Amino acid sequence: MKRLIIKSLSPLVTGLFFLVSIMTAQASIIDFKTTATGGTPVDNVIININDQFMAGGVSVSFGFDTDGDGVLDSQGVFEQVGESADPADDSGF
């Protein structure tokens, strides 16, 4: 009888565990309103390949893979939204 109860409760307990896990998971967003170190970004400031942005306990790096080997080898850059005070500074984004 005990085996029957344990067998029938096992899927229920497993399902409940996953349901609670999903409900407590939180999504994080990297919005670039701060640098990886928490500072305020400025137009044309470099995002180093080794800078680690945190999102939900996961660290993320940004850059470009310029030679197609799957490894970041070129740095990213913060770009200002909208027009710059100097039109020659506008990159088109």
Domains held by the chain: number: 1
Q: How many residues does the chain have?
A: 93
- In angstroms, the first-to-last Cα distance of the chain is 69
> How many CB atoms within 10 Å of residue 62?
17
Whole-structure pTM value: 0.55
> What is the rounded CA–CA span in Å between residue 62 and residue 67?
16
Whether 14 is in a domain gets the answer yes
Whether 88 is in a domain gets the answer no
Whether 42 is in a domain gets the answer yes
State the residue range of the domain holding 36. 2-80
pLDDT (tens, 9 = 90+) of the chain, 93 residues, equals 445 445 555 665 565 555 555 555 556 788 888 899 989 998 888 999 999 998 888 888 889 999 999 988 999 988 877 766 776 666 555
Whether 90 is in a domain gets the answer no
Whether 93 is in a domain gets the answer no
What pLDDT sits at residue 64? 92
Whether 65 is in a domain gets the answer yes
Name the nearest CA neighbour of 37 among 27, 74, 9, 45: 45
> Are 41 and 77 in contact, with CB atoms under 8 Å apart?
no
In the three-class reduction of DSSP (H, G, I as helix; E, B as strand; rest coil), residue 54 is classed as strand
